[in-house]
Structure 1
Amino acid sequence: MDQSVKRVFLVDDHPMVRELLALMIDQQPDLQVCGEASDASQAIEGIGNTQPDIAVVDLSLKSSSGLELIKDIKARKWGTPVLVLSMHDEGLYAERVLRAGGFGYINKQENSNEILHAIRKVIDRQIYVSEKLAGIMLKRIAKGNGSEISPVESLADRELEIFQMIGRGNSTRSISETLGLSIKTVESYRARIKEKLQLEDGVQLMQQAVLWVRSYDDR
């Protein structure tokens, strides 16, 4: 294959999204999709086998989190830059993506030209975020890292993931099975979330999680 053509690996649990992305990318003379995956285990195997120039990853995957996948890719020292392409709230997740080792974040609502621009920028190992978010991040740095942080933003990545799953009606056992964690571990996460959000009991935790998920989905 022409060395000037960069290989793209797609990770998304929706086949239609992967199909549309592949169609868009393969029409570019300098880009080519080299593999696809719907979950983290398939992604790790596929990225390891193909060694792509970039992995384009969604945050919500089957039985896993895109953030955890980014950390796993980084830990394996493959040097594969990751761009997150997701519908999740940029303001809440983009910084988490960068802290996890990703090179950029772009919303699925962006037009195709901007998505391709983000892909090419990350292939060149440059950080990509929207101009709006870049401005917010710079203001936050100028004011100090602790300014204007909401209680939910203070949750660690796994805590936020579990909080969101609670809000979507998942039981402790269901969360345990989905994330591959023991029930005791999930209960420990629940306790830490209650402490950070200053909630008295599991009922308040459920109420706050449901309200947050509803407001999040309405954005």
Structure 2
Amino acid sequence: MAKTPSKSSNDIANATPPAVKQVKRRVLIVDDHPIFRNGITQLINHEVDLHVCGEICSAAEALGAVEQLKPDIAVLDISIQGTNGIELMKSIRALHPQLPALMVSMHDESVYAERALRAGARGYVMKAAPSEKVIEAIRRVLGGGLYLSEAIGGRLLDTFLNGRATNVGTSTIEQLSDREIEVFRAVGEGRGTREIARTLFLSVKTVETHRAHIKEKLQLKTAPELVRAAVEWVNREANL
């Protein structure tokens, strides 16, 4: 029987080490637009270090998905079924404080970025941003950092250093609470009080109270003025 030659120390030293399989970070997408979910999933799955572990369209499913899928990061939109991304972010932060989250939304960052950060998000990216910015934001948040556009980052820094908000032309809207913003958008989308109450899981009386507060803060005297202002704001956001 032939004897198998032994390997020399040089052979062992020069041997190619086995390839180490890269561990992909798990990304959960929460967005109610199927086309966007499909697009961002393909974008993320092309990266060697990232993988979409789940696509969710509603807030009701999102918390369960976080528990079941154990993502490394959640990517949320403002507009989702059942509530909004800000309220969902608050719930995620309360139940899973260690899970980092990034907001990727079509809605004006001058209105929503600071609200998202206060709710617990680690960054905000507009959907209109180049795709590489979305990937950059995901990686930065996964690395423990914050991600904001230069314009919003500079504004928030100025607010922190000077103890005041800077005027970027949306100061009146910024007076509204997160829930009031949600109701204001629904009014601008043509929804009536009862429909808003049903979709936001509020009472009709609560929605009417929010509408009254919105009119007061925006100095609007009548319901038609409120509707007109809301429609104009929603249309302006859509054209950003």
TM-score (norm 2): 0.85
- Bigger drift between 19-28 and 163-172 goes to 19-28
Return the alpha-carbon distance in structure 1 between the equivalents of residues 172 and 97 of structure 2.
Answer: 35
Q: Which runs of 5+ in 2 are unaligned?
A: 1-20
The one-letter code matched in structure 2 to 1:208 is A
Q: Per the alignment, do residues 81 and 204 of structure 1 end up closer, same or farther by CA in structure 2, a change over 3 Å counting?
A: same
Query: Rg: which structure is higher?
Result: 2
Matching of residue 79 in structure 1 with residue 98 in structure 2: yes
Name the counterpart of 2:174.
Answer: 153
- Bigger drift between 139-148 and 14-23 goes to 139-148
Choose which of 26, 29, 41 in structure 2 pairs with 1:10: 29
Return the alpha-carbon distance in structure 2 between the equivalents of residues 34 and 217 of structure 1.
Answer: 30
The 5-angstrom pairing of residues 127-138 of structure 1 reads 127-138=146-157
The 4+ residue runs of structure 1 with deviation greater than 6 A are none
**C-alpha displacement of 1:26:** 1.4
Q: Percent identity?
A: 44
Return the alpha-carbon distance in structure 1 between the equivalents of residues 166 and 154 of structure 2.
Answer: 15
The 5-angstrom pairing of residues 6-155 of structure 1 reads 6-148=25-167, 150-155=171-176
The one-letter code matched in structure 2 to 1:23 is Q
The one-letter code matched in structure 2 to 1:140 is T
TM-score (norm 1): 0.93
Q: Which runs of 5+ in 1 are unaligned?
A: none
SS of residue in 2 equivalent to 1:151: helix
Name the counterpart of 2:16.
Answer: none
- Kept in 2, the 8 Å contact 1:36–1:43? The answer is no
**C-alpha displacement of 1:135:** 1.3
Return the alpha-carbon distance in structure 2 between the equivalents of residues 198 and 131 of structure 1.
Answer: 32
State the Cα RMSD in Å.
1.6
